Amino acid sequence: MSMPTILVTGGAGFIGSCFVRQELARSESRVVTLDNLTYAGNLDSLAGVLDDPRHTFVEGDIADATLVGRLLAEHQPWAVVNFAAETHVDRSIDSPEPFIATNVVGAFRLLEAARRHWAGLAPSGRAAFRLLHVSTDEVFGALGAGASGFSETSPYAPNSPYAASKAAADHFARAYFRTYGLPVLVTNCANNYGPRQFPEKLIPLMIQSALGGHPLPVYGDGRQTRDWLFVEDHARAVRRVLEAGTPGEVYNVGANCRRSNLDVVRAVCRTVDELCPDLPQRPCESLIQLVEDRPGHDRDYSIDAAKISRELGWSPREDFESGLRKTVRWYLDHQDWVGRVTDGTYRLQRLGLGKLP
């Protein structure tokens, strides 16, 4: 128990599992992972570290205040990193309530449990403790004409139920610092991509559809622009903010890799064509289809990451081309993982039910 410990919520998800693997590989810390294992939480994403003696996995909900309080008391972490969230915009449009339950109520209960735990620590423990809440650039809404990127002081203007739920959590995080002094840090990140991302997201969806020769649907005219951040770079940024960030501060994390959705899909197609020269549907760009735009679709996001670079010395290591190539290569090499995710096997096997009929 003398070993420093971090509690990672949502640690079986895409970004959280990347952070867990990095933390165990690059530090001497113990990691306690709490995850509710909803559809996007996957123990396969923690393969290789589940049996690490420094890693403890707990299935549970951040909204379960009793469970969170027990974990804090038992493991005495010096830091809590909150990745737990419902994240898919389309799902939030179809059914907003789960986003309120996890992203708002869950985040509030986590903050409250952390506050109670922190208040009971000795002065040295209170001084060392940190809670880092991971958020998104979508809380800022659409980037205005002529703006170069969202800064940490950009006004909030969420345009989807998902973005609104994350904005609410950000406000609670700020309030818990201002009102109670809880040493909270907030990061707002650009669009993430990389290995182990759930296949409903744009890049893995396009990879899998291209491999299968299926249509590649792109919303509207495809000119919606996003800043793309490789997940390994994001995990490093979170760790850097945790180590050296100032409590109460917000740090935007982006890679200055602005691409339109259509350009991203075309880049995926070119990479798949290159790495899979025998595909009968090559060139995969012929599979692209523009479809009706979704409601409330923001036109342009971009992150100004000057603050984290200037104050904490963080910068991305991957550009979009190198990160995308690593991503496509990973999916090509891990079709078994994709199959288990897309057919639900990973969830049924956890319950001892075998494969979907």
**Burial environment of residue 201 by CB neighbours within 10 A (0 to 12, 13 to 18, 19 or more):** middle
* Residues pairing with 191 in the sheet: 228
* Residues pairing with 143 in the sheet: none
Number of continuous H segments (helices) and E segments (strands) in the chain:
14, 12
Q: Report d(CA 83, CA 119) in Å as an integer.
A: 23
**Which residue is catalytic, options 35, 138, 227, 304?**
138
* Residues pairing with 94 in the sheet: none
The CA-atom distances, in angstroms, between 313 and each of 86, 190, 293, 300 are: 30, 18, 39, 27
**Burial environment of residue 351 by CB neighbours within 10 A (0 to 12, 13 to 18, 19 or more):** exposed
- Compute CA 177 distance to the chain's CA centroid, rounded to the nearest angstrom: 23
The helix or strand, by DSSP H or E, that contains position 217, with its residue range, turns out to be strand 216-219
Contact (CB, 8 A) for 57 and 50: yes
162 is catalytic: yes
159: CB partners within 8 A, 6+ apart: 138, 141, 142, 296, 298
138 is catalytic: yes
Number of Cβ within 10 Å of residue 105's Cβ equals 16
Q: Report d(CA 48, CA 43) in Å as an integer.
A: 10
Token pair listed for 337:
């993982």
Residue 208 backbone dihedrals phi, psi, to 5 degrees:
-65, -40
28 is catalytic: no
**Which residue is catalytic, options 137, 170, 227, 300?**
137
**Which residue is catalytic, options 35, 86, 162, 233?**
162
Catalytic residues: 137-138, 162
